[in-house]
Amino acid sequence: MSQQTPEEGTSGTTTRRAVLATAAATAAASAAATGQAFAAGPSSGPGPGPSSRPGPSSGSGPGPGSGGTGHGHGDRPATAQSPTRELRTLLKEIDPDRIEATVRKLASFGTRHTLSVQDDPVRGIGAARDWILAELRTYAEASGGRMTVELQSYIQEPASRIPVATRITNVVATLRGSVTPERIYVVSGHYDSRVTDVMDATSDSPGADDDASGVAVAMELARVMASRRPAATLVFAAVAGEEQGLYGAAHMAERFKAAGADVQGMFTNDIVGSPKADDGTLDPRSIRLFAEGVPSSETPEQAATRRSVGGENDSPARQLARFVRDTADNDATGMSVRVIYRRDRYLRGGDHIPFLERGYPAARFTEPAEDYAHQHQDVRVEDGKQYGDLPEFCDFDYIARVARVNGAALWTLARAPGTPRNAKIVTSTLTNATELVWDRGTEPDLAGYEVVWRETTAPEWTHVIEAGDVVRHEVDLSKDNVFFGVRAVGRSGARSPVAFPVPQR
């Protein structure tokens, strides 16, 4: 994208003729291109130029990074980003054998119940904690001092499922960003486990799928990324206390909040170990991603605005989920990301919720269909059937693919500019055009911005308009009829998640 300072170019305009011509071209191209590959991803060409009056797309349509307005083809969103050579190399380094070794090692500690023994070197949650710490420190040796590893502990006083004061410890590896280290992205799994009785802290509780698999994802990404230099800071965490009530994740999220940390995305991986359902059916190329609609942290004032202008499907968590689809649902990961419009599974919860409650965008990865004979079960054989969360029921190649999905999203987040701030729609005068404004980011590699839009009934963004390096853009299309968003573009071609604008009164 050509460079303009905000003083040289602070606004642009896209005409209604261009927008509507593009919409018509989209309909024709979608019919013609069903089942075909996306013609050109945003990162496959040079950055867009500064023109603020793009012409209509042709029937084949350019990708968002090739000039003018853009739209998707087939099942690919208009905002999709093609994997770079760098990303493909990174993802190929994810090793199913290492993931298997991690899962089996965690299962070998007998039980990892939060209330289990903490000072035994071979059994209990303390032994698991110490092993994770040692492994992450080994990975950090490749970082040249940029990755630090710490134990994040506190004493949880008696509370729900915590009958006595208990030390809860997260193991956290932080890879400091090289360009904008204040911007943070988190990936986690929980290393505590349980059996049928959630208060049973002594019986064997291998917790292979729930959740050694998620810890293995976070640890393998820490290993692969330790030697690299992300622009933003990446945090890889193994948290405790999940089964007792999300205690470890809540402590970590609260520490971020108290420090004023700029956490722009968080993923928890919880139960990502197998593509096999309880009836034996397999879905080995799919992963669910749960993303809430109405924000858990929404204030009454924000709720009133949402009821007035819409946006139930445009929370920061939903934009983060769309970003995962844009960057990780492709041949580099070998996976399809199924976004579920729900905070978590029905009446259930996970470690992303404390982040959501504190206003951070967060989402949960979970396998396509859980097998409840191998989750929250005493290890036993009953009527010839093996119960229990044992490693033998995990698919380590599948977990590696889930790690690649996480890695593709996480690495693209870390190399793209941050999500635009203070995106707003100007409402001072009644008009059938829509004027959007936002703050310019401070990233040194920021190239400019794109405006995206879709019909109010569409689940994903369908059109991309190049705005240039400006902080204001007008689209000759009514805000009454469509939803708009804004995303940042880096010099590398990487795009940020979309910011959903609120009214500027």
User: 490 - beta bridge partners?
Assistant: 446
Long-range contacts of 425-429 (CB under 8 A, 24+ apart): 425/479, 425/484, 425/501, 425/502, 425/503, 425/504, 426/504, 427/503, 427/504, 427/505, 428/504, 428/505
> Residue 56's pLDDT is what?
31
The rounded distance, in Å, linking the Cα atoms of 216 and 403 is 9
Counting DSSP H helices and E strands in the chain, the numbers are: 11, 19
Q: Looking at this protein, which amino acid is placed at residue 361?
A: P
> Residue 223's pLDDT is what?
98
In terms of DSSP bridges, do strands 262-269 and 362-366 run parallel, antiparallel, or are they unpaired?
A: parallel
> Residue 2's pLDDT is what?
39
> Residue 18's pLDDT is what?
65
- Both tokens of 106, joined, read 């965690």
> Residue 310's pLDDT is what?
95
Closest by CA to 11, choosing from 60, 63, 51, is 51
Distance of CA 451 to the CA centre of its chain: 21
DSSP 8-state symbol, 159: B
Closest by CA to 265, choosing from 229, 228, 319, 219, is 319
Cβ-Cβ contacts under 8 Å for 85 (sequence gap 6 or more)? none
Separation in Å, CA 392 to CA 175, 209, 287, 377: 33, 10, 20, 15
> Residue 301's pLDDT is what?
96
The rounded distance, in Å, linking the Cα atoms of 326 and 312 is 20
Q: Residue 180 half-sphere exposure, CB side, CA atoms within 13 Å?
A: 22
Q: In what order do the strands lie in the sheet with 421-426?
A: 12-14, 472-475, 434-439, 421-426, 502-504
Percentages helix, strand, coil for the chain, rounded to the nearest 5?
A: 30, 25, 45
Q: Looking at this protein, which amino acid is placed at residue 143?
A: S
Per-residue pLDDT of the chain (505 residues; tens, 9 = 90+): 434 333 345 777 777 666 666 655 554 454 444 343 333 333 333 333 333 333 333 333 333 433 355 665 557 899 999 999 999 999 999 999 999 999 999 999 999 999 999 999 999 999 999 999 999 999 999 999 999 999 999 999 999 999 999 999 999 999 999 999 999 999 999 999 999 999 999 999 999 999 999 999 999 999 999 999 999 999 999 999 999 999 999 999 999 999 999 999 999 999 999 999 999 999 999 999 999 999 999 999 999 999 999 999 999 999 999 999 999 999 999 999 999 999 999 999 999 999 999 999 999 999 999 999 999 999 999 999 999 999 999 999 999 999 999 999 999 999 999 999 999 999 999 999 999 999 999 999 999 999 999 999 999 999 999 999 999 999 999 999 999 999 999 999 999 999 999 999 8
> Residue 22's pLDDT is what?
61
Q: Which residue has the tokens 């040079």?
A: 46
Is-contact 452 467, C-beta < 8 A? Answer: no
Cβ-Cβ contacts under 8 Å for 467 (sequence gap 6 or more)? 12, 52, 448, 449, 450, 451, 473, 486
- Both tokens of 270, joined, read 């919880």
